[in-house]
C-alpha cells in the first residue's frame, strides 16, 4: 500500500489536472471537506485520514469496493456513505480517471446523476 506522502502527491496531481477545468477549485470552506476539490461548491475529491476519497455514483462505489480498488468511507460517523469511496493504493492513471468520473457525477453529467439529483431535490 502506498504511504500517505504518495497518496497526497496523487491528490495534488489530481488537483492540478482538475483545477484547469472551469468551476473546479481547491479548498474554500472549513470543516468536512476543507482542502477538498470542489465544483460549484460541491466536493469531488478530498484527503481524509491519509486516504484519497472520491464522490461517485453508488453503483460505481459498489463496483470499486467489490474489485478491491476502494474501501468504504464513513467520514468518522461509523456508517459508510454510499456515494463515497476511499481509494486503495491508487496509481496516478486510476486516480485521474476516477477523479474525472467524480467531476462528471458531481456536475450532473455522469452515470446515475439524474437519479442523484432527483433524490436530493425530491423530483420524481
Please check whether residue 35 lies inside any domain of the structure: yes
Please check whether residue 41 lies inside any domain of the structure: yes
Q: Using the CB atoms, write b or e for 20-36: b if 16+ within 10 Å.
A: eeeebebeeeeeebeeb
Vertex 81: Cα angle to 105 and 46 (nearest 5) = 60
Q: How far is CA 32 from CA 35, 105, 124, in A?
A: 9, 19, 29
63 Cβ neighbours under 8 A, 6+ residues apart: none
Please check whether residue 122 lies inside any domain of the structure: no
Residue 113's pLDDT is what?
A: 45
Please check whether residue 121 lies inside any domain of the structure: no
Residue numbers of the domain that contains 107: 4-113
Reduced to 3 states, what is the DSSP secondary structure of residue 58? helix
Residue 14: how many other CB atoms lie within 10 Å? 25
Residue 32's pLDDT is what?
A: 60
Please check whether residue 14 lies inside any domain of the structure: yes
Please check whether residue 37 lies inside any domain of the structure: yes
Residue 33's pLDDT is what?
A: 60
pLDDT, tens digit, 9 for 90 and up, residues 70-105? 999 998 888 999 999 999 987 899 999 999 999 999
Please check whether residue 24 lies inside any domain of the structure: yes
Residue 124's pLDDT is what?
A: 29
Please check whether residue 15 lies inside any domain of the structure: yes
pTM (2 d.p.): 0.82
Q: Report the pLDDT averaged over residues 48-65.
A: 95
Kindly indicate the confidence band of residue 116, based on its pLDDT and cuts at 50, 70 and 90. Answer: very low
Residue 35's pLDDT is what?
A: 85
The count of domains in the chain is 1
Amino acid at each position: 500500500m502506498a504511504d500517505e506522502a504518495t497518496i497526497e502527491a496523487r491528490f495534488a496531481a489530481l488537483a492540478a489536472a482538475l483545477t484547469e477545468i472551469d468551476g473546479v477549485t481547491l479548498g474554500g470552506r472549513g470543516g468536512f471537506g476543507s482542502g477538498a476539490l470542489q465544483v460549484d461548491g460541491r466536493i469531488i475529491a478530498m484527503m481524509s485520514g491519509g486516504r484519497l476519497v472520491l464522490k461517485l455514483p453508488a453503483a460505481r462505489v459498489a463496483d470499486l469496493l467489490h474489485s478491491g480498488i476502494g474501501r468504504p468511507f464513513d467520514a468518522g460517523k461509523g456508517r459508510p456513505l454510499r456515494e463515497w469511496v476511499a481509494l486503495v493504493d491508487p496509481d496516478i492513471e486510476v486516480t485521474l480517471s476516477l477523479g474525472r468520473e467524480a467531476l462528471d457525477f458531481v456536475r450532473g453529467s455522469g452515470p446515475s446523476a439524474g437519479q442523484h439529483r432527483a433524490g436530493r431535490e425530491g423530483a420524481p
